[in-house]
Structure 1
Amino acid sequence: MGLPRTAAAAALPALALTASALAGCTASSSASIADQKTITVGVKADQPGLSLKGTGGTYRGFEVDAGTYIARKMGATKVEYATVTSENRESLLNKHKVDIVLASYSITAERAKLVTFGGPYYLAHQDIMVRVGENRIHQAHDLAGRRMCQASGSVSTSRVVSGLGIPAVTVPSPSYSACYQMLLDGRVDAVSTGDMVLAGFAAEGRSKVKVVGAPFSDERYGVGLRKGDIDGCEGVNKAITEMYQDGTASRLLRKWFGASGVHLVESVPEFEGCG
């Protein structure tokens, strides 16, 4: 039985409102950062060379400069920054607290289930940092039985212990800046992660710590975006390509890491693809 004419007429505004609300939800959930004029870049606050937050609240480092370049190339007229950690990168992206993340964010299959990755924007290599004067650790296998710092939310330690089967003694830490301090204090024997992260700390404490220069794996640093933002991912990849082609990437890498002694990769990394 159909609705009476008056009831049907009354139902039309409600149906229209419902359809409008659903359309709004669909548009919101599928919105891309490619359409935004303000982009908030998530960066770390405690990694010298990559991203360090100063006492005045200003962020400085390679990932800050690269994030600015990418956002501007995508059409953003305003670029803001917010602090992320290895533990909360995914949640802050999905809660729309940040729009893209450049935070030594290694691309892994597990992480790719939660976010869409643009890039990578740099191909780092996992290495080892020790105190100056340490003569027992020259390569990854020398970490067996040694105290190695395990930064919360990072996959670097598992590459040593699980990936290579090296029985290092892992010592938990909230971050790599804390790992660096633990190394200086003698509470751990080594810190192992991407050479860009280590290079920044080594430059800060050049008379106290050193990078051994024995890379043993690749770390593809990607730009994290909200899951499914294909347009945003393609825009990020286009911007990264231009950053390397116009010489900006080389200039920034030399600016922040030229004095570190770490081998710098100045060619465009092979992209993962946005599909």
Structure 2
Amino acid sequence: MKLRKVTAASAAVIALALTATACGGDDGGDSNSSGSGGGKTIKIGIKYDQPGLGQKTPQGYVGFDVDVATYVAKKLGYEPDQIVWKEAKSADRETMLQRGDVDFIAATYSITPERQEKVDFAGPYLLAHQDVLIRADDSSIKSPKDLNNKKLCSVAGSTSAQNVKDKLAPEADLQTYPTYSACLSGLQNKAIDALTTDDSILAGYAAQEQFKGKFKLAGFKMTNENYGIGVKKGSELKDKINKALEEMVADKSWQKAVEKNFGPANYQYEPAPKIGEIKS
């Protein structure tokens, strides 16, 4: 009988241990790295301050990148209430993926050879172009070369301003701010002369109610920016996300998301790019 009692007690201990393991014993913020939907949550990096693309508002998270990420998460087996949104600033994106802070990032993340050495990309899912936002009454900037000797703003970790200085306006005075919102404030109060980044981002800012009529896109289309979804190097999520993106285009959800988020800004967007086709 003693042996039987010990066995029963041991079984109880084992059962409790298995139960604790199944529950995870964490704060509910775990995710399934395989993207199969088996985890409680999936952590996704987005921008918090880019109107039309990724923005944190009192009503929740909105924008084209948010819609794309939500669709992809659904295809991976996660409902919207299982998504944990994380702010992915430009300078932090590779580190966030390498550390496992997020499962994937959809944050106006242009695919470049330098970034591909550090992380993998699914997509692209949007083709944007680098442009410049200036004050509506500024008639001095008519071409990229006019940015010489002008104060040109972009954010830390972005390649936009450096592209202009390296290739188009070597005498431009680069001003690096922490966010695009900070650049916009500088443009408004004339601390800077121009804000450069992707036309999709600039259009979102210019279309905001409080800024209507104050700024304008120069329309330079200086580069091609292939937006991809970043994942950790070697992650099997890449193929799964590519499949989800193809389905999003095929069932017209991509088109609906574009029209919903960019329509108010009259943004002349490109057709959905083919998966794996990077335009240089």
Check whether TM > 0.5: yes
The amino acid across from 1:60 in the alignment is V
Verify the 8 A CA contact 1:67 1:102 in the aligned structure 2. yes
**CA deviation map 1:223-259 (0-9, x unaligned):** 0101111x21111111111111211111111111112
2:217 to 204, 211, 216: 211
Corresponding letter in the other structure for 1:82: K
Partner SS for 1:127 = strand
Structure 1: stretches of 5+ with no match in the other structure:
1-30
- Asked if the contact 1:122/1:269 (under 8 Å) is kept, the reply is no
TM-score (structure 2 length as normaliser): 0.81
Q: Percent identity?
A: 37
Q: Check the 8 A contact 1:34/1:235 in 2, yes or no.
A: no
In the alignment, the residues of structure 2 paired with residue 245 and residue 72 of structure 1 have an alpha-carbon distance, to the nearest angstrom, of 16
Instruction: State the AA in 2 paired with 1:219.
Output: E
Q: 1:172-215: CA deviations, max 9, x gaps?
A: 21111111111111111111111111011011112211112221
Q: Does 1:153 align with 2:157?
A: yes
Q: Secondary structure at the match of 2:120?
A: strand
Question: Does 2:182 correspond to 1:178?
Answer: yes
Q: 1:169 to 1:101 in 2, by over 3 A?
A: same
Which residue does 1:114 correspond to in 2?
Answer: 118
Q: Mean Cα displacement is larger for which, 197-206 or 164-173?
A: 164-173
How far apart, CA to CA, are the structure 1 residues paired with 2:246 and 2:101? Answer: 26
Count of matched residue positions in the alignment of Structure 1 and Structure 2: 242
Q: Residue deviations 1:113-132, cap 9 Å, x none?
A: 11111111111111110011
SS of 1:128 mapped into structure 2 = strand
Does structure 2 retain, via aligned residues, the 8 Å contact 1:241–1:268? no
- C-alpha RMSD of matched pairs (Å): 1.9
- Of the three residues 224, 228, 231, the one matched with 1:225 is 231
Change (3 A) 1:111 1:193: same
2:138 is the counterpart of 1:134: yes
**TM-score with structure 1 length normalisation?**
0.83
Structure 1 position 64 matched with structure 2 position 101: no
The runs of 5 or more residues in structure 2 that have no matched partner are: 1-32
Distance 1:33 1:132, change over 3 A: same
The yes-or-no answer on 1:249 pairing with 2:251 is no
Once residues 165 and 184 of structure 1 are traced to their aligned partners in structure 2, the CA distance between those partners, rounded to angstroms, is 22
